[in-house]
Amino acid sequence: MGDKAKTHNGAAGGAPAADRPATVRNVVLVGHSGSGKTTLVEALAQTAGAVVRPGRVEDGATVSDYDEIEHRQHRSVQLSLVPVEWGGYKINLLDTPGYADFVGELRAGLRAADAALFVVSAAQEAEAVVGATRAVWDECAAVGMPRAIVVTHLDTARTSFAAMTELCGRIFGGEDPDAVVPLHLPVLGPEGPDGHAPATGLTALLSRRVHDYASGGRTVTAPSEDELPGVEAARNRLIEGIIAESEDESLMDRYLAGEDLDVATLTADLEKAVARGVFHPVLAAAPAPEGGTQGLGTLELLELVTGGFPSPLERRAPRVTTPRGAAREGIGCDPRGPLVAEVVKTASDPYVGRMSLVRVFSGTLRPDATVHVSGHHANGGPGAADGGPGQDGGHDEEERIGSLSSPFGKQQRVLAECRAGDLACVAKLAHAETGDTLSSPEDPLLVAAWAMPDALLPLAVRAHSKADEDKLSQGLARLVAEDPTMRLEQNQDTHQVVLWCLGEAHQEVALERLRSRYGVQVDAVAHRVPLRETFGAPATGRGRHVKQSGGHGQFAICEIEVEPLPPGSGIEFVDRVVGGAVPRQFVPSVEKGVRAQAARGVAAGHPLVDVRVTLVDGKAHSVDSSDAAFQTAGALALREAALAAPIHLLEPVAEVAVLVPDEHVGPVMSDLSGRRGRVVGTEPAGPGLTLVRAEVPELEIGRYAVDLRSVAHGTGRFSRTYARHEAMPPSVAEKLRERSLIDA
């Protein structure tokens, strides 16, 4: 990480870098959309010798964003693996989407990685961008994942490395901002016409040496006399931060006594602190200039990854159980141990078919081997961490492993095996879905599922044509199996097929994948909220069904009384007929007809609830009365009663819990009130965070997953659960009628 001697070669020459777990580094890149993660991955691949031209492989596709949808939308929408070899190490770079709609891909990257690079752009709106990434930073901190920060876009006018470093220390460092300090300082070149001086090199603070990249490759020189005071001040702060996190308690005394600590000791302590997840260096990076081979800071980053980030041997594997939930201890990163691998991503390739990205935690995965597939959910979505097949709708299958490969853009490089600590793509796994565990058939195991966000933005769809109807169910099922952040619902009340997503961009990608991957054209339609109807006052009704058309006729007459009941009562049927006016055998028929009509609705086509229907009288015929006739009469009686009483619409109300930073509590509460919501309380939810609880009609929060991002500047998240149905205000009901949203 300083000026350590390393072999800066890529894959050329020598044994494969992934021959043992100690030589593997799994690193996920995290950052806001537009921060430059994909560009950085490509720059690192170029520096490692994996590509000749920046961001390109032999077929012209980028090494990371090679999906057709990504090309059209000009943004990352899925997790991408870019493996490179450098200095005897295999580095698996996991490039994640920065847009909030694809946080499921980010969580998969965090699961597969052992360390994280947080990429922040000096050219973006700093406070909002860095703040939106804070939740992910806290997730990594909770599990002790090592983190470093990379500042990009320093070639843009009016950018400042020092200002961005200070901001990262304040937001990410929290109570310990001295744990977030620069490892290098940018060296600025001549000012351009706009007055901005681009970075042309880096000063390594520990070694006091300048790494000059002006020529397109790194050369090492000494700093000028004018630069030394600033270098020394930053160096002292870095050393103090390292010593504060050092396991060697004697270093502080030696430093305070004025001893000049040697670089080797400081570097070793720095690497240990980074690997333990308690110290977070800040670096700068930029792609190589035209004709160059090394981008600014890319060598320093590779040195940090290989020297400061832990190997899979140093990271604790997720909790492992048997499929029945019994804890299984002693699972470590051992290529000779029992096989434990997890599918972290599932995708469909138009030429290869289904591809599964797998992280091997223990054992060795080999082509053509038979594996046991255990899953938490029948649809592939990770669920409760403790859920086994008997508790959680999980599944158990056995299938044969296809070919193993290592992806690089659109290419797939064949692997002979994948050992513990490494990642690989497995072709044509028919049953394994995202979140499933692969293990030995003789020793089936299950890895605890990782947390996924709830999909809270509905997208109602219908087949575009009759031909699409036949393919729609299969296409949707495959889509949900690939992406566990999507949820499929067949709503029995509205008879709609609803795909729940994380945001509008997530919806766009889902529709595009249905069309391009599975050949299914669908139309998006307005999502309908399941409303209910109830009586606003008691009423009576008479159902008369008398027909005679020759031969056997139909005769049934019944009289009913209807009265409203408290919310949640459902439909109650009471028989008060005396004297046999309605024969005993036909009373259930009347009830059946009443309940069938209640299910269809009596005013606007929504189910009728919370009423008591009392059968009080009727007439029958010894020959022409029948079960069907009294069913029809019961339905007619309920409809007639509805004409004599006010019918109220009931709307579902949700309990909403919104977690936001303290500074956004006011706007969030005001927004909820504007949605006819009732704020029922607030409570502290951690340093600088507040949980706002409210009850809001579901008609008002259909797009809340999108709107909350605007209100809380991307820093809020929420959950919702159904509470009850309650009467809708007449003015709102009238507006809905005018918009024809409640037509039968």
- Cα(268)–Cα(274) distance, integer angstroms: 10
**Architecture of 457-525 per CATH?**
2-Layer Sandwich (3.30)
The residue among 658 and 385 whose pLDDT is bigger is 658
The CATH number assigned to the domain with range 650-738 reads 3.30.70.240
**Is residue 54 pLDDT above 80, yes or no?**
no
Domain with CATH 3.30.70.240 in the chain: 650-738
**Is residue 224 pLDDT above 50, yes or no?**
yes
Q: Which residue has the tokens 């980074």?
A: 274
Give the tens place of pLDDT for each residue, 178-189: 889 999 999 887
**Is residue 73 pLDDT above 60, yes or no?**
no
Strands, E assignment, 471-521: 487-490, 497-501
Contacts of 116 (CB under 8 A, 6+ apart): 27, 28, 29, 30, 110, 140, 145, 146, 147, 148
Residue 1: what pLDDT? 58
**Is residue 592 pLDDT above 70, yes or no?**
yes
The residue among 448 and 143 whose pLDDT is bigger is 448
- Cα(58)–Cα(18) distance, integer angstroms: 23
Burial profile 123-162: b = 16 or more Cβ within 10 angstroms, e = fewer: bbebeebbbbbbbbbebbeeeebbbbbbbbbbbeeebebe
Give the tens place of pLDDT for each residue, 191-220: 777 667 788 889 999 999 999 988 878 899
Binned at pLDDT 50, 70 and 90, residue 430 comes out as confident
Strands, E assignment, 106-165: 115-121, 147-152
- Helices 504-516 and 466-482, packing angle to 10 deg: 120
User: What integer is the mean pLDDT of 292-307?
Assistant: 89
Domain with CATH 3.40.50.300 in the chain: 21-314
Residue 521: what pLDDT? 93
- Cα(397)–Cα(168) distance, integer angstroms: 46
DSSP state letter for 677: -
Residue 378: what pLDDT? 39
Q: Looking at domain 532-645, does it have CATH number 1.10.3720.10?
A: no
By percentage, how much of the chain surpasses pLDDT 70? Answer: 88
Neighbours of 216 (CB within 10 A): 14
Give the tens place of pLDDT for each residue, 323-359: 888 999 889 999 999 999 999 998 876 666 788 999 9
User: What integer is the mean pLDDT of 525-552?
Assistant: 90
- Cα(223)–Cα(139) distance, integer angstroms: 39
Residue 247: what pLDDT? 83
Please, what is the Cα angle at 694 between 688 and 699, to 5 degrees? 125
Q: Radius of gyration (Cα) for the chain, nearest Å?
A: 32
Residue 536: what pLDDT? 93
**Is residue 310 pLDDT above 70, yes or no?**
yes
Return mean pLDDT, the chain.
86
Per CATH, the homologous superfamily of domain 21-314 is P-loop containing nucleotide triphosphate hydrolases (3.40.50.300)
Q: What are phi and psi of 436, to 5 degrees?
A: -80, 155
Look at residue 114 and give its three-state secondary structure. Answer: coil
**Is residue 393 pLDDT above 60, yes or no?**
no
Give the tens place of pLDDT for each residue, 707-740: 998 899 888 899 999 999 999 998 888 887 776 5
* 10, 134, 199, 427, 482 from 349: Cα distances, Å: 28, 34, 41, 10, 12
**Is residue 742 pLDDT above 60, yes or no?**
no
Residue 75: what pLDDT? 55
Residue 250: what pLDDT? 86
User: What integer is the mean pLDDT of 48-59?
Assistant: 58
The residue among 288 and 128 whose pLDDT is bigger is 288
Domain with CATH 3.30.230.10 in the chain: 532-645
Binned at pLDDT 50, 70 and 90, residue 415 comes out as very high
Residue 739: what pLDDT? 67
Task: Give Dmax over CA atoms of the chain in angstroms.
Answer: 116
Give the tens place of pLDDT for each residue, 7-16: 344 443 333 5
The residue among 393 and 359 whose pLDDT is bigger is 359
Per CATH, the homologous superfamily of domain 320-447 is Translation factors (2.40.30.10)
Length of the chain measured in residues: 744
Domain with CATH 3.30.70.870 in the chain: 457-525
By CB neighbour count within 10 A (0-12 exposed, 13-18 middle, 19+ buried), where does 330 fall? exposed
Flag the least confident range among 116-120, 273-277, 677-681. Answer: 273-277
Binned at pLDDT 50, 70 and 90, residue 391 comes out as very low
Which amino acid would we find at residue 569?
A: S
User: What integer is the mean pLDDT of 61-65?
Assistant: 51
Neighbours of 592 (CB within 10 A): 17
